[in-house]
Structure formats: structure tokens, C-alpha cells
Chain A
Amino acid sequence: MIPVLGGSGPVIPSFGSGSSCEQNNGWWCTDWLREHWGDTLQPALVQHIELVAIAIAAGFLIASVLAIAGFRYRLLDVPVGGFADFLYTIPSIALFQLLVPFTGLTVLTVEIALTSYTLFVLYRNMVAGLRGVPEDALEAARGMGLTRVQTFFRVELPLASPAVLAGLRIATVSTVSIATVAAFVVPKGLGEPIFIGLDQNLFKTEILAAGGLAILLALAADVALAWFARAVTPWSRA
């Protein structure tokens, strides 16, 4: 139950020595939140966003390369897609354990694991999006004299973008949630205050606040990406 890999972080909350709410381990101690927003929650939130952003960016890049290859050369799709599926099925804690002997208790370990999890959704959606481009549009593009590269950038890519963006949205929201587990490896992200809270006789306010922030962050990312997708694909609402 108690985290093993992360150890206790640098910031110990003033549980037990502050207000009566804190001493009684209340559900929502506003004075603790006010006092520790700046030294605990806000840095954890920023770290969390960083962990997720790097994983999504790396995952998007790798998945793009793989998806273009898997789309052009169908033979590649089965092994590549299968490998992405396989990575996705490994429980996150197991994946961390597997990586630690090689990359240590580092941010790199966390990013490798988080990136791996994004590949499945991103790759599958990208390939499905590219495959779903209507045949008649491709025929027209060819007949009008667009080269393969022009067809890809002007027709296939834009028409695949709703599926790609849907994949990006799912990957981002799920990575926000998985990234809390990163605190097993490094004392970073919103998982860290949760683990510390668990360590400190289940200090409820800290656990709830960090967990709540993770949920809010996931919701915010979801709404922002949905809005972005609508904004860049106005035709899909037509």
C-alpha cells in the first residue's frame, strides 16, 4: 500500500503541527491548502503537465513515423500495431519495474513508460484516419495530377486529422491519469503529494487536493483538445 520506490519527497506537510483541522486530519483544510499551494501543489501540477507534455509530444512523433510507414507498407502494420497493443497491455507499475534496472529512478524511465502507453491509441487512430480517406477523393486527386506527396499533405493528412485529434485527446487524458504513478520512480507530478499524503497517516486534504487537481487537469485537457479539434476541422461540422 505504501509507495516503495519513490521514498518520501522533499516537502513534508505540516500535518500534526498546524491548525486543528490539520491535527484532526480533516477532509478539506483550507488553511493547509493556502499555506502549501506554493510549495507543494503548484510545483507538482507544473511537473505533471511537463511529464505529460513530453510523453505526448514524443509519442505523437514516434506514432506519426510508424503510422506513415504502416499506412504505406501494409505489411508493417501488423507487427507495429501488435507491438503498440502489447506495450499497452503491460501494467504501468510492471513497466516501471522493467525499466528501472536500465534507466534507473529517473524522469527518463517515466517518460519511456508514459510514451509507450500513448503509442497504441495514437498509432491506431492515425492509421485508421489515413485508411478512412474516401476512395473517390483519392481518385480525383490522382486524376487531377496531384503527386503522391501533394496528395498526402493536401488530401490524406487533413482528412485523417479528425481521427488523429481524437486519438490525441484520448492519449492525453489517459496520460494525465497514468502520470500520477510516476511518483513511484521520481518525486514528481501530482502523484507525489498523493503518496506523501498516504505516507503521513493518510492526510486526507493533501490526497484529495492532488487527486482533484489531476482530475481537473484531465478535464481541462479534454475540453481544450475538443475545442482545438473543432477549430481546425470546421468542415467536419458542415
Chain B
Amino acid sequence: MATQAAELVFDEATKQYPDRPEPAVDRLSLTVPAGEICVLVGPSGGGKTTALKLVNRLIPLTSGDIRIDGRSINDQDVTELRRSIGYVIQQVGLFPHMTVEANIGTVPRLYGRSRQWIRERTAELLELVGLDPSYAKRYPAQLSGGQRQRVGLARALAANPPLMLMDEPYSAIDPIVRARLQDEFLRLQRELRKTVLFVTHDIDEAIKVGDRIAILREGGRLAQYDTPENILLKPADEFVAQFVGADRALKALSLRTLGQISLRPGTWLDGLPQIDASTNLRDALGFLLAGGSDRAIVVDDDGNPLGTVTPEDIVR
């Protein structure tokens, strides 16, 4: 079983469905460095799912190539290839007749892992995705949507794959749980450092999750591939500017936290609202505007004041 993260390269990857006038993915070339999250984002029908499924050969390439750590996917045995890639989908696809443990153990069992190994690995993974290990014996029907998605992630991680494919994993989850799952996924990724190809239609999710964002437009053409900051502040063309939205400057604020800007040294006035240094600038601005106060005290994790902040400090 492979463990280290792998570099993923799309090289002029093209998919032309037989009965379609134009390709679903058109000469897509991009490199996802090992250990980074690349988010594929774009309008519905833009070819995101197709591009993702090209990687594990659920859909065969028409032309071009895809390489994982320099090795063409077409040079590998297809079942071996798929077992070495974590796959997470929106509908989760848990096997209803298997317990959580059996679901998570699916690929390890194919690798001949023992029951004991799978039991221990399940406990470890459940903890990692934020579920109590007692969930191991439950059936999928006994879980909530968010819990199922967590188990789906644990199952994809079970064989410790160097590459993860995630197709709109949180799109069917309500916004509050979705935000929590995104946060947990990012925390987990800081630990695991997998290479991740993550598909979403939601630009806010892309900005939050992605180390890099690839924007696909209709016909599966790459419009821009860049960091979230550059996508927001330097959109390559009108399409990207439109797609990220008129509020893109505001969205860019969400990329930095209060802890990352210079604060005013503090005169601690009683009655000033307090705000966490880990809050992103966009939320901080919202907090200040909604609070009716033009100033707040920024505090660290232990509640110690670090300084004060005003709306002007944020938008400057």
C-alpha cells in the first residue's frame, strides 16, 4: 500500500462522449503538486465530474494522458489503480448491508488485511473523521447525512491512498454541518497531506478548501488555474470574474485572519466586543458592522487581548 502523497498531472486530457457535439473535457493540462488540494470548480455541465472520473478510469480518456507520480494511469491495472485512489462521492455510496466497520474495511479486505487490523484501523479512522468508535457496528441507515459523509471519507482513507478524488462531497449537506465538515477535512488534511482533487460547483467552498483552484468553463476548457487569492484578485478573463462574483474583493477577505494583519495596540475600553484572532477578515468585518461598534478587541485562544481592530483596518 502506498502512503506518500502523489503528484497528479493532467496532460492534454480530453474526453469526447460519442454522441456529443463538443468534448466534455477539452485538452485539460494542469499539475497538482503532491500534498495539495486542487479544487475543480465551474458551472454545472462544465465537465468537472468527467475530469475527476478520468483519473480513476471510471471514464476512459479519449486522448491525452493523466499521470500519477509520473506513471500513466493507462499503464496500470485498472483495479489496482482504483484501490490506490480514495474515492468520495456526493451520494456517499455506503453499502447499506454492511456495518460501518465492514464498509471501511472494504479495500483493506481486498488487500488481505485481517479482521483485527480492520477493527483497529476503523477505530482510528472514525476518531480521525470525528465519530465515536462505537459507530463501527452501526448500519448506514442508522446514521445522519453528515455522519454518512464522514464514514465515506474514512472508507476512502482506509488503505491510506496517496491521492483522493472527492466529487461534491458536501453538496447535499446542510450549510451548518457542511461548514463543520469542511473545517474538519482541512484539519485532517494538515495532518495527512494527501494529494486531493476536489470537485464543487460552489466558489465559496472552493476558496475555503483549495490550495489551488481550477475553473472549468462550458465544454470542459480550463479558464484559470491559480491560488484562491489570484483567482479572486486577478481573474484571467470576464468569465472568471463573473463566476467568482461581483463580491470577489469581499470574498478575498476570507483568505486571511485577524491574526495575520497588524492590529492597533490596545487601550482596553470596557464594554468593547471581543473577537477571536482566528476569525477570517470577512467574518470579522461582518461582526463589526452588525455589532454597531466601530472597534473590537482581538483575543487569542486563551482570551488574552492582542490589540484592537476597526473596519478600516480590515479593508485597507
Interface residues of A (CB under 8 A from B): 134-147, 150, 154-155, 158-159, 161, 233-236, 238
- Against A, the Cβ 8 Å flags (1 = close, 0 = not) of B68-88 are 000000000011111110010
Q: Which residues of A contact B83 (CB under 8 A)?
A: 144-145
Q: Which residues of B contact A147 (CB under 8 A)?
A: 79
**Chain B residue nearest in CB terms to A138:** B93
Interchain CB contact under 8 A, A143 and B56: yes
Interchain CB contact under 8 A, A143 and B95: no
Interchain CB contact under 8 A, B91 and A145: no
B91 contact from A136, A144, A155, Cβ within 8 A: A136
- Against A, the Cβ 8 Å flags (1 = close, 0 = not) of B46-64 are 0000000000101000000
Interchain CB contact under 8 A, A145 and B94: no
**Chain B residue nearest in CB terms to A160:** B97
11 interchain pairs, CB-CB under 8 A:
A134-B93, A138-B93, A140-B87, A140-B93, A141-B95, A144-B87, A144-B106, A144-B107, A145-B83, A145-B110, A161-B97
**Chain A residue nearest in CB terms to B107:** A144
**Chain A residue nearest in CB terms to B109:** A154
Interchain CB contact under 8 A, B95 and A140: yes
Considering the chains assembled together, what is the distance between the CA atoms of A138 and B91 in angstroms?
11
Q: Count B interface residues, CB 8 Å.
A: 30
Q: Which residues of B contact A238 (CB under 8 A)?
A: 96, 138-142
Interchain CB contact under 8 A, A235 and B107: no
Q: Which residues of A contact B93 (CB under 8 A)?
A: 134, 136-141, 143
Q: How far is the CB of A145 from chain B (nearest CB, A)?
A: 3
Q: How far is the CB of B228 from chain A (nearest CB, A)?
A: 28
Interchain CB contact under 8 A, A145 and B97: no
Q: How far is the CB of B169 from chain A (nearest CB, A)?
A: 12
Q: Which residues of A contact B110 (CB under 8 A)?
A: 145-146, 150
A159 contact from B58, B87, B96, Cβ within 8 A: B96
| B98 adjacent to chain A (CB < 8 Å) | yes
Considering the chains assembled together, what is the distance between the CA atoms of A147 and B141 in angstroms?
25
Q: Which residues of A contact B140 (CB under 8 A)?
A: 238
Query: Given known contacts A136-B91, A137-B94, is B139 in contact with A142 (CB within 8 Å)?
Result: no
- Against A, the Cβ 8 Å flags (1 = close, 0 = not) of B130-168 are 000000001111100000000000010000000001000
Considering the chains assembled together, what is the distance between the CA atoms of A150 and B99 in angstroms?
18
